[in-house]
């Protein structure tokens, strides 16, 4: 461990890290440090004090955003099929609606597959 860098004990299978020097959090489950078989999240490093409002946009933790931070698709890497945001509700209906709005925040990030 270096100065300004704290490594926490194993949490949800990953080792989250907060870097005091540049205010970033890395390797957290919530921001995409997950793997369900072939399906993986983006394991994103987020800037804690960012003022862009883009750090937790849909598509950042799993899926894809463009260079401007706009959503391309929330579909995570390795997911079978090719679905857009309105399709998620066809299968994950307890989590999201057909507008792509999260309807149950607890189920959305609970380390389980929810349908
Ligand atoms: C802060 C990070 C983050 C953002 C932003 C995010 N997700 Fe997720 N999402 C996750 C994680 C982590 C999972 C893994 C499943 C779990 O833990 O329950 C997940 C899982 C899902 C699932 C699978 C169902 C489930 O929960 O098991 C769907 C569908 C989903 N997200 C849709 C969306 C949509 C639509 C948006 C934008 C409105 C979005 N997500 C934004 C982190 C995020
Ligand atoms: C046709 C049904 C179907 C659609 C549509 C679908 N999923 Fe899934 N999804 C599944 C199944 C089934 C699994 C579990 C696959 C496995 O375990 O191998 C899964 C797993 C996942 C996972 C990892 C486990 C979990 O539940 O968190 C995420 C994240 C996810 N889907 C996100 C999405 C997002 C985002 C969309 C929309 C863009 C979407 N899915 C659309 C059926 C679907």
pLDDT at 12: 57
Q: Is the CB of 98 under 6 A from ligand 1?
A: no
The residue whose two tokens read 């857009």 is 84
- Please report where in the chains the tokens 């960012």 appear, as a residue: 50
* Residue 6 clears pLDDT 60, i.e. is over it: no
Q: What is the pLDDT of residue 10?
A: 44
Token pair belonging to 68: 């401007």
Q: Confidence band (pLDDT; 50, 70, 90) for 3?
A: very low
pLDDT digits (tens, 9 = 90+) for 59-90: 999 999 999 889 999 999 999 999 999 999 99
pLDDT at site 13? 64
Q: Show Cβ contacts of residue 41 under 8 Å, excluding neighbours closer than 6 positions.
A: 31, 32, 33, 34, 35, 61, 62, 76, 77
- Tokens (6 digits) for 104: 């149950």
Distance CA 115, CA 112 (A): 10
Instruction: State the greatest distance between any 2 C-alpha atoms of the chain, in Å, as a whole number.
Output: 48
Is the CB of residue 29 below 6 angstroms from any atom belonging to ligand 2?
A: no
Which residue's alpha carbon is nearest to atom 31 within ligand 1?
Answer: 108
Nearest CA to ligand 1 atom 24: 114
Ligand 2 centroid to Cα of residue 92, in Å, is 7
């Amino acid at each position: 461990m270096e100065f300004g860098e704290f490594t926490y004990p194993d949490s949800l299978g990953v080792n989250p890290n907060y870097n005091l020097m540049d205010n970033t959090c890395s390797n957290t489950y919530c921001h995409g440090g997950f793997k369900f078989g072939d399906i993986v999240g983006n394991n994103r490093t987020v800037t804690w004090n960012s003022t862009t409002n883009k750090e937790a946009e849909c598509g950042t933790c799993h899926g894809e955003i463009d260079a401007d931070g706009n959503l391309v698709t929330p579909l995570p890497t390795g997911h079978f099929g090719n679905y857009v945001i309105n399709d998620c509700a066809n299968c994950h209906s307890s989590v999201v609606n057909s507008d792509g709005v999260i309807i149950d925040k607890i189920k959305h990030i609970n380390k389980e597959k929810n349908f």
